[in-house]
Structure 1
Amino acid sequence: MEPPEHRHWVYNRVDERGKHTDEFLYGVEEFIRFAGKGDEGRKIRCPCVSCRNLKQHIPYDVRKHLYRKGFTKDYYYWHCHGEERPQVAPINVNIRMTSNPYEQMVMDAAGPSFNEHSVFEEDPNPNSAKFYDILHASQSSLWDGCENHTVLSVAVRLLSIKSDYNVPSACVDEIITLINEILPANHRMPTNLYQTKKLIGQLGCGYQKIDCCVKGCMLYYGDAIKDKSCRFCKEPRFKEERVRKGRINKEIPAKQMWYLPLVPRLQRLFSSNATAKYMSWHIDKYHEEGVLSHPSDGSSWKHFDQAYPEFASEPRNVRLGLCADGFNPFGLGSRPYSCWPVIVTPYNLPPGMYKRREYMFLTIIILGPSNPKSRIDVFLQPLIDELKILWQDGVLTYDISSKQNFTLRAALLWTINDFPAYGMLSSWQTSGLLGCPICMGSSKAFHLKHGRKTSYFDCHRQFLPEDHAYRRNKQNFQKML
Structure 2
Amino acid sequence: MHYLPLIPRLQRLYASPSSAKHMRWHAENHHDIGMMCHPSDGGAWKHFDKTYPDFASEPRILRLGLCSDGFSPFGMSSKSYSCWPIIVTVYNLSPSMCMTTPYMFLSSIIPGKNNPKAQIDVYLQPLIDELKSLWEIGVVTYDVSLKQNFVMKASLMWTISDFPAYGMLSGWQTTGKLSCPYCMKSSQAFWLKNGGKHSWFDCHCQFLSMNHPFRKNKNDFLKGRVEKSYPPCLLCGEEVLERVSYIPKITEQPNLKMPGYGATHNWTKRSVFWDLSYWKDNLIRHNLDVMHIEKNVFDNVFFTIMDIKRTNKNKDGVKSRMDLREHCLRPELELSVDNGGKVLKPKASFTCNDDQRRAVCEWLHNIRMPDGYAGNLSSCVDLKE
TM-score normalized with structure 1 length: 0.46
Q: How does 1:194-209 map to 2 (within 5 A)?
A: none
Matched, 1:397 2:137: no
Matched, 1:379 2:123: yes
Report the secondary structure of 1:471's partner residue: helix
Matched, 1:286 2:30: yes
Q: How does 1:236-315 map to 2 (within 5 A)?
A: 257-315=1-59
Partner of 2:366: none
| Structure 2 letter corresponding to 1:275 | S
| Structure 2 letter corresponding to 1:348 | N
Q: How does 1:108-119 map to 2 (within 5 A)?
A: none
Cα shift readout 1:245-270 (whole Å, capped 9, x = no counterpart): xxxxxxxxxxxx01111101100000
**Offset, 1:404:** 1.6
Matched, 1:407 2:151: yes
Cα shift readout 1:318-344 (whole Å, capped 9, x = no counterpart): 000110000001011231110000100
User: 1-side partners of 2:210 and 2:75: how far apart?
Assistant: 49
Partner of 1:445: 189
Partner of 2:217: 473
Partner of 1:423: 167
User: 1-side partners of 2:204 and 2:82: how far apart?
Assistant: 34
**Structure ranking higher on relative contact order (CA contacts 8 Å, 6+ apart):** 2
User: 2-side partners of 1:451 and 1:357: how far apart?
Assistant: 42
Report the secondary structure of 2:141's partner residue: strand
Partner of 1:459: 203
**Offset, 1:475:** 4.9
Which residue of 75, 78, 83 corresponds with 1:334? 78
User: 2-side partners of 1:403 and 1:423: how far apart?
Assistant: 44
User: 2-side partners of 1:475 and 1:282: how far apart?
Assistant: 50
User: 2-side partners of 1:277 and 1:307: how far apart?
Assistant: 26
| Structure 1 letter corresponding to 2:131 | L
For these two proteins, the number of residue pairs brought into alignment is 225
User: 2-side partners of 1:270 and 1:445: how far apart?
Assistant: 50
**Offset, 1:461:** 1.5
User: 2-side partners of 1:357 and 1:451: how far apart?
Assistant: 42
**Offset, 1:450:** 4.6
Matched, 1:357 2:108: no
User: 1-side partners of 2:115 and 2:40: how far apart?
Assistant: 33
Cα shift readout 1:45-90 (whole Å, capped 9, x = no counterpart): xxxxxxxxxxxxxxxxxxxxxxxxxxxxxxxxxxxxxxxxxxxxxx
Partner of 1:232: none
| Structure 2 letter corresponding to 1:421 | A
Report the secondary structure of 1:306's partner residue: helix
| Structure 2 letter corresponding to 1:302 | K
| Structure 2 letter corresponding to 1:345 | T
Cα shift readout 1:109-153 (whole Å, capped 9, x = no counterpart): xxxxxxxxxxxxxxxxxxxxxxxxxxxxxxxxxxxxxxxxxxxxx
Report the secondary structure of 1:275's partner residue: helix
Cα shift readout 1:377-405 (whole Å, capped 9, x = no counterpart): 11100000000000111011111112221
Q: How does 1:150-165 map to 2 (within 5 A)?
A: none
Partner of 1:101: none
User: 1-side partners of 2:16 and 2:194: how far apart?
Assistant: 64
| Structure 2 letter corresponding to 1:278 | H
Report the secondary structure of 2:128's partner residue: helix
Partner of 2:62: 318
User: 2-side partners of 1:449 and 1:372: how far apart?
Assistant: 31
User: 1-side partners of 2:194 and 2:38: how far apart?
Assistant: 48
| Structure 2 letter corresponding to 1:342 | I
**Offset, 1:464:** 2.1
Percent of residue pairs identical: 63
Report the secondary structure of 1:342's partner residue: strand
Report the secondary structure of 2:31's partner residue: coil
Q: How does 1:98-117 map to 2 (within 5 A)?
A: none
User: 1-side partners of 2:30 and 2:58: how far apart?
Assistant: 19
Report the secondary structure of 2:213's partner residue: coil
Matched, 1:367 2:111: yes
User: 2-side partners of 1:438 and 1:367: how far apart?
Assistant: 31
C-alpha change, 1:476 and 1:287, in structure 2 (3 Å) is closer
C-alpha change, 1:453 and 1:396, in structure 2 (3 Å) is same
**Offset, 1:451:** 5.2
| Structure 1 letter corresponding to 2:201 | F
Partner of 1:126: none
Partner of 1:432: 176
TM-score normalized with structure 2 length: 0.57
User: 2-side partners of 1:314 and 1:441: how far apart?
Assistant: 41
C-alpha change, 1:261 and 1:453, in structure 2 (3 Å) is same
| Structure 1 letter corresponding to 2:36 | L
User: 1-side partners of 2:200 and 2:74: how far apart?
Assistant: 35
Report the secondary structure of 1:364's partner residue: strand
| Structure 1 letter corresponding to 2:221 | F
